[in-house]
Amino acid sequence: MNFEELILRNRSYRRFYEDFEIKAEVLKKLVGYARLSASSGNIQALKFYLSADRERNETIFRHLRWAFYLKDWDGPEIGERPSAYIIILGDTDIHATIELDVGIAAQSILLGAASMGLGGCMFGSVDRAGLRKELHIPKKFQIPLTIALGKPKETVVLGEVDSSGKIEYWRDEKMTHHVPKRSLDELIIDFK
Ligand SMILES: Cc1cc2nc3c(=O)[nH]c(=O)nc-3n(C[C@H](O)[C@H](O)[C@H](O)COP(=O)(O)O)c2cc1C
């Protein structure tokens, strides 16, 4: 897969073949890509909590908010749920400001997953207090982002934001997921 294919393949997927097993070794490999990624001041304050077993997966699943714009969908049903998760934590003993590093690490993890034929979704919308309590995550760790991973079961089609300006993703009757992207012309600006 060349770089452009990888970028195109690296969509947010929310339905998976749940029976597809992702081994702990694979999760470690993905964290290895985050490990080698850029970090502000090379401080490396991120830690990674892994889950690839049914019980942990179920606990994490209960605390995620799925697809804000799909109002009549409560998230994937049993059988279509993620096979694994990586929860990115910020170790405040090392540093308190981690947000930019989190995004970079998450993208490395998801590009790595896409290169292996896997896919996933980042979750910023998380019941952090609930997750902290159930997974016994100590107070000193921030919980900025959770990544769900699996073998994608859905097709995601990229479109362009039209003159209506609508950026909400949507699903058609075949459950194909459509994501409007703003045009390059809209993104690139100049000031004279
Ligand atoms: C920082 C961040 C947080 C996100 N949080 C959520 C979330 O809580 N729930 C969710 O379903 N999707 C979440 N997403 C996925 C976005 O909705 C998705 O990236 C967007 O719809 C564009 O689709 P694409 O990733 O396929 O390009 C998040 C994405 C990012 C970058």
Residue keyed to tokens 């100049």: 190
Same domain, 85 and 177: no
Asked if residue 88 and residue 146 are part of one domain, the reply reads: yes
Same domain membership, residue 167 and residue 102: no
Answer whether 122 contacts ligand 1 (Cβ < 6 A). yes
- Is 148 found in the same domain as 160? no
- Which is nearest to 54 in space by CA: 85, 14, 89? 85
Q: Are residues 165 and 117 in the same domain?
A: no
Residue 5: enclosing H or E segment and its boundaries?
helix 3-9
Q: What is the pLDDT of residue 117?
A: 98
Residues 79, 20: Cα–Cα separation, whole Å? 10
Both 113 and 182 in one domain: the answer is no
* CA-based torsion, 134, 53, 87, 179: positive or negative: negative
- Residue 26: its pLDDT value, please? 98
CA distance 120 to 187: 25
Could you identify the atom of ligand 1 that is nearest to the CA of residue 169? Answer: 21
Q: Name the β-bridge partners of 170.
A: 178
Q: Does the beta carbon of 156 sit less than 6 angstroms from any atom of ligand 1? A: yes
> Are 44 and 131 found together in one domain?
yes
Domain tally, the chain: 2
pLDDT on residue 72: 95
Residue numbers of the domain that contains 186: 155-192
Q: The CATH number of the domain where 47 resides is what? A: 3.40.109.10
Q: Is the CB of 169 under 6 A from ligand 1?
A: yes
Shared domain check, 106 and 31: yes
Within this chain, do residues 100 and 162 fall inside the same structural domain, yes or no? no
Q: What is the block-wise mean pLDDT of the chain (192 residues), using blocks of 10 residues? A: 96 98 98 98 98 97 98 97 98 94 98 98 98 98 98 98 96 97 97 94
Q: What is the pLDDT of residue 88?
A: 98
Q: How far apart are the C-alpha atoms of 150 and 140, rounded to whole Å?
A: 29
Ligand 1 center from residue 123 Cα (angstroms) = 7
Assess whether 41 and 131 both reside in one domain.
Answer: yes
CA separation for the pair 119, 136 (Å, rounded):
27
Same domain for 150 and 178: no
Residues 53 and 10 in one domain: yes
Pocket of ligand 1 contains residue 114 by CB under 6 Å = no
